[in-house]
Amino acid sequence: MPSTPSATPAAEASSAEPGGLPLGTARRRLILDAAGLSVSAIAFGLVYGLAARTADYSLVEMLAMSAFVLAGAAQFAAIGLVAGGVPWAAILLLTTLLNARHVLYSAALAPWLTGRRRIERAAMAYVLTDETFGLALPHFRRLGRADVGGYWIATAFIVPMWFAANLVGFLGGQGIPDPTRFGIDIIFPAAMAGIAAALVTGRRELVAAVAGAAIAVGFGVMVGPSAGIVAGGLLAPLVALLVRHGPARSDVEGFEGFVMAPLPHDASETQPDTDVTRT
């Protein structure tokens, strides 16, 4: 009698692309990672709220900047520049350069979201922060496909925490006379280093990360912190383009979290036909 292999349940088949993790496993890891990064968002949000109060911002002005900008580094830079009386044109130029990295974030996520509705992608773009990107892209890679639900799970751990911390920092931040005394000032760069480490999946990415850090520190010492951030962000990708693309991490079993999964595609192009009749 002819027979066929037992079929995989539809729920399992739809949970992951070939070679990807099951949806439940990937989301559990996403939640753990997001919980860790939320600590960074909370601490950084507290300091931002305190800085805004110190710069004589009103509560409405502080929250409006978070709502319309939603980019911590640019918000901090703007507060200092406004307090220093810098012309608005210069402030606009600097914050635009600081936020230029979000264009690259969007470009990296766009291939995964092909076919999604424009309004949906616009909503996702609004909450695309450093932390959200650092959580979403590795999550997509682990699955081998996009997971919009997972994207919003990551966002739920970051954006609401940011706004809540802004309020606490503004209203009660005067109780922290010197944030550096408690090491709060180091949390944001430490979190960014963690995000960068998670996104390094090839030789070019590794070179870009190292070059970006070196350029940012060099320019920061010689010119200023803001100039260092802009220079590192603009020049590091150009340095990476000079490097031949290749793997930077082992793909030995047990290190699957470090390997970049391919973009989603038609499985029939590469997967062999498993529905073979046996006699």
Write down the domain spans for the chain.
18-186, 200-261
Mean predicted confidence (pLDDT) in 145-169 = 95
How many angstroms separate the CA atoms of 226 and 159, rounded?
24
- φ/ψ of residue 115, rounded to 5: 95, -15
| Residue 263 confidence (pLDDT) above 60 | no
Give the pLDDT band (50/70/90) at residue 8.
Answer: very low
- φ/ψ of residue 278, rounded to 5: -110, 145
Give the chain's end-to-end CA distance (angstroms, integer): 6
Q: What is the pLDDT of residue 19?
A: 57
| Residue 132 confidence (pLDDT) above 90 | yes
| Residue 256 confidence (pLDDT) above 50 | no
Answer for the pair 101, 232: CB distance below 8 angstroms, yes or no.
no
Please state which of the ranges 128-142, 192-206, 264-278 shows the lowest mean pLDDT: 264-278
* Residue listed under structure tokens 């309004």: 119
Give the tens place of pLDDT for each residue, 83-104.
888 888 988 888 888 788 888 8
| Residue 121 confidence (pLDDT) above 80 | yes
Q: Which of 76, 120, 124 is nearest to 98 (CA)?
A: 76
Q: Average pLDDT of the chain?
A: 75
Give the tens place of pLDDT for each residue, 35-52.
988 988 888 888 889 889
Give the pLDDT band (50/70/90) at residue 120.
Answer: very high
| Residue 6 confidence (pLDDT) above 80 | no
Percentage of the chain beyond pLDDT 90 is 30
In which region does residue 162 sit, left (phi positive, over 0), alpha (psi from -120 to 50) or beta (all else)?
A: alpha
Give the pLDDT band (50/70/90) at residue 252.
Answer: very low
* Residue listed under structure tokens 């383009």: 241
Please state which of the ranges 140-149, 160-169, 174-183 shows the lowest mean pLDDT: 174-183
Cα Rg of the chain, angstroms = 22
**Angle at which helices 101-109 and 130-143 cross, to 10°:** 20
Give the tens place of pLDDT for each residue, 185-220.
555 565 556 556 655 656 766 777 777 778 777 877
